[in-house]
Structure 1
């Protein structure tokens, strides 16, 4: 790929400042103004706390990050038993979709809420919503109630796991999720030490994601899936107590002096609502078509697709002409690198979350002779979760050493594609070794991809657009997560229904097919012929889903190709003058 004419521009130094700070590859737009001397100068911190107070504050916030990561892999592991319990396995994908769609909706709001309610108020609101939704999941009397509870938890998850990337007081971080704790780290920790602290946060995230699957499977086997939600209560209470006790952070003068009206005006409510309406109606239309066997011509299905189109048009109009601080500024999306980064993150996130929610379903249909060689349910996702943490750290280390990211981006994308291709060929003869190892490149590659593309996004825009560009990256990423879970669920149910009808025929076949779709637990109790037909149908349906995952990863790779590489400076002696007058070329 040709190097941009701005390759040698000294404006790129802020990107490397944070890369040199930590292997966790954190970068901060706060470091973009540096004095003429070789050492960066930053204003003194507004908040000064003792070492003990700082530890308590970060422990309270980071326990929420740990819990959010833990919750995600726990729920992905429990989809099959939850669906079977309520006799609605065909609706199990809604559990993930409801949570992620809610996160997508509330993600842009929390950074502003942190300015309006204060850091403590915003975090307590997020923990309260997440905690109440999680506990309600444990007492859910029906699948519909559980789905609604997950949506409520997602309202808080948008604050625990994803802060507002557009906040000018927040670091542009290269970890897996842009956390509210990032704002507090910026408030509390000097610039030179932030990389270390963000690295510690990344470790907690990886730990939560890594143990969520195995522990969730163990809890389900011994106490039932409901207990997996109750087990999160102690961590929630710990985080809540520390936030109330210690988080008393003074906001910057620029924020404190703003009126409530000015703060609210910076929240793009209309843009968020129209975006969720666009995505939500589209996904609901596809989901109802497959899960409820409604025809394409059904008035309800047609109405949902028309509503999605209208919401989409409204979203574009709002972002272009109405919103003063749009969640997706269209002027940036028309530029080459921002567009390529956004689309690569969209398709990459679709594939990554489809893997997270559908690969555990494949394990449910592994033949007994292979199952016995896999000792702990959920543990099969552990190597994948560990690879996510290592991939992010490795990508930051490589960029620190080489000052380049383009080839690393392509390799990361190809690794994720390779993993999804390997999964396509799983069958009853697949060795247990492959069931553990084949998805590792998916986690490693995706972590590297989102790390390098965020650097590319920030390096491809002028300084004043860096925070907004970071926000766009996370917007496309969360939207991709929702699309990946929902569309893969719709594809799974559509192909499954077709395969079951072709393999199971005769008197009573319609009722039997309905029972198989609603609960996978009846499959072991079927006659050998019917059991084989049901398992083969699920295997065929999952294979189509895995093919879709590979296609999405390949599209992510194709969108990585147009990304322009701006060489990262490799020394602290380079000038830091930002070239604000060189906008990136627009797409024709």
Structure 2
């Protein structure tokens, strides 16, 4: 495909295409904040707090596995039909999530939603890479990142309002009109001239990766709870996951048209960007998944206030992304990424220091610094990666970077969820109160809704909140460790632009 010819043909319609892409990204971005905000209410209604992390894990697992496949399909068949397929799965899953009558059904429907989500973000970003020149992308990526800010301001506010008025089901159903509108505009204005490609689709690679991640994810969530860490079952699952990942990498290196082209990883900037995306994915999900539960259950604030603490992160993200577009030109890729890494350290360290009595402003400030760090690093990485590869690899390269961040989030939510559940259970067992000793992890459900919380005896309430606080302190310490790892790798980025 001749990129300059395609951009020339699209110039007239670029504002409409950009608006449709931003709307598609908004649907994907708002999903994170609006569902996190609603989770305390969903858990209070459906129960099964021990399955809390599975609501995120199921969605992230499918979006992580499919993101590479969608990226490759978009290089073969064009961006528009593949984005349409993904968005359709996403919207069907959203409709079904609203009808879930138990936590198990909600998790199952989140699998369907995640199956489509893998297409939305990477292909939307790739479309922008197609229709704008290398020089224009830094500024436009700043605009795209502003979507995170808009969704962050609206997501928690809308989520809190819906939860407190007509019900949590509508946090899923709000996706429907937005997704349909985005697809309609894209089909009207985006014209693609895709070269015929007879390369086989790498289904074997997709299958190996899917099974490997499913085994690993299940062990991370259930390890220490239903599966003892030192049991033969756990060891077999670890060995199976490692073997399957090995087979996946070996297959991808030999495949004629691999789902993940490891050849692009020879570029040092791309390699480091992908590794840092993995580590930042862990810290990002650790904050966004469990912060609302802490603010609601321990600080005893409303769903709207819990949403506000997450909003601060996504306000910092687009501000930093917009500034990053200019910094990339003025001070370069290395220094811009370094500033982002330092900001991640500051934000996560503030979470380590957080105490229940500090109030919601403290986690909001901490979130803001994390948002600044994410905005600077992700914008730098996407602009650099899309500039380093030709059109025929751009979809796969963009998807590979988002895959690594999604993989970090997938593993992170499972790992941190397992650690949190194990810590809460340990705190109950160590309690001197016999009533607390007999409680299961699901007992913390009652912390997440004001009316249920008011019926708990003060002594028991204090110990429930203490158990959740100690568990989340461990989670935030691990998040801080991943921020340190991120900064360490950023130091190895090439300094020549």
TM-score normalised to structure 1 length? 0.76
Describe the superposition over 1:341-364 as per-residue Cα deviations: whole angstroms up to 9, x where unpaired: 332221112111211112112101
Residue in structure 1 matched with residue 36 of structure 2 by the alignment: 76
**1:414 to partner: Cα distance:** 1.7
Q: What is the rounded CA distance, in whole Å, between the counterparts of 1:115 and 1:449 in structure 2? A: 25
Residue in structure 1 matched with residue 313 of structure 2 by the alignment: 384
**1:46 to partner: Cα distance:** 7.0
Q: Which moved more, 1:414-423 or 1:276-285?
A: 276-285
Residue in structure 2 matched with residue 5 of structure 1 by the alignment: none
Q: Which moved more, 1:349-358 or 1:529-538?
A: 349-358
Q: What is the rounded CA distance, in whole Å, between the counterparts of 2:462 and 2:415 in structure 1? A: 26
Residues 165-184 of structure 1 aligned to structure 2 (within 5 Å) = 179=125, 181-182=127-128
Q: What is the rounded CA distance, in whole Å, between the counterparts of 2:350 and 2:314 in structure 1? A: 18
Tell me, yes or no, if the aligned pair for 1:391 and 1:445 is still in contact at 8 Å. yes
Change (3 A) 1:469 1:200: closer
1:546 aligns with 2:476: yes
Unpaired runs of 5+ residues, structure 1, are 1-28, 32-41, 164-177, 568-588
Change (3 A) 1:507 1:89: closer
Tell me, yes or no, if the aligned pair for 2:141 and 2:325 is still in contact at 8 Å. no
1:105 aligns with 2:33: no
**1:45 to partner: Cα distance:** 4.4
**1:47 to partner: Cα distance:** 4.0
Corresponding residue pairs, total: 493
Q: Which moved more, 1:490-499 or 1:58-67?
A: 58-67
1:206 aligns with 2:149: yes
Tell me, yes or no, if the aligned pair for 1:423 and 1:546 is still in contact at 8 Å. yes
Change (3 A) 1:553 1:111: same
Q: What is the rounded CA distance, in whole Å, between the counterparts of 2:27 and 2:243 in structure 1? A: 37
Q: 1:343 aligns with which of 249, 253, 275?
A: 275
Change (3 A) 1:198 1:437: closer
Residue in structure 1 matched with residue 343 of structure 2 by the alignment: 415
1:325 aligns with 2:285: no
Q: 1:484 aligns with which of 400, 412, 418?
A: 412
**Secondary structure of the equivalent of 1:141?**
coil
TM-score normalised to structure 2 length? 0.89
**1:386 to partner: Cα distance:** 0.9
Describe the superposition over 1:84-129 as per-residue Cα deviations: whole angstroms up to 9, x where unpaired: 2221111111111111111111112224434555544223212211
Q: What is the rounded CA distance, in whole Å, between the counterparts of 1:273 and 1:440 in structure 2? A: 38
Residue in structure 1 matched with residue 204 of structure 2 by the alignment: 270
Residue in structure 2 matched with residue 159 of structure 1 by the alignment: 119
**Secondary structure of the equivalent of 2:459?**
helix
Q: What is the rounded CA distance, in whole Å, between the counterparts of 1:561 and 1:88 in structure 2? A: 43
**1:408 to partner: Cα distance:** 2.9
Residues 193-342 of structure 1 aligned to structure 2 (within 5 Å) = 198-244=141-187, 246-247=188-189, 249-252=191-194, 255=195, 257-258=196-197, 262-263=198-199, 265=200, 267-290=201-224, 292-298=225-231, 300-329=233-262, 333=265, 336-342=268-274
Q: 1:433 aligns with which of 358, 361, 366?
A: 361
**1:544 to partner: Cα distance:** 0.3
Residue in structure 1 matched with residue 287 of structure 2 by the alignment: 355
Q: 1:537 aligns with which of 457, 460, 467?
A: 467
Change (3 A) 1:200 1:394: closer
Q: What is the rounded CA distance, in whole Å, between the counterparts of 1:238 and 1:146 in structure 2? A: 25
**Secondary structure of the equivalent of 2:165?**
helix
1:146 aligns with 2:106: yes
**1:431 to partner: Cα distance:** 4.3
Q: Which has the higher helix share?
A: 2
**1:411 to partner: Cα distance:** 2.5
Q: 1:516 aligns with which of 432, 443, 447?
A: 443
Change (3 A) 1:60 1:363: same
Q: Which moved more, 1:436-445 or 1:446-455?
A: 446-455
Residue in structure 2 matched with residue 497 of structure 1 by the alignment: 425
**1:268 to partner: Cα distance:** 2.9
Between structure 1 and structure 2, the one with the greater Rg is 1
Change (3 A) 1:422 1:317: same
Q: What is the rounded CA distance, in whole Å, between the counterparts of 1:478 and 1:156 in structure 2? A: 14
Change (3 A) 1:119 1:334: closer
Q: What is the rounded CA distance, in whole Å, between the counterparts of 1:49 and 1:159 in structure 2? A: 24
1:135 aligns with 2:78: no
Describe the superposition over 1:467-517 as per-residue Cα deviations: whole angstroms up to 9, x where unpaired: 46555433322211212222111111111111121125426842x335414
**Secondary structure of the equivalent of 1:223?**
coil
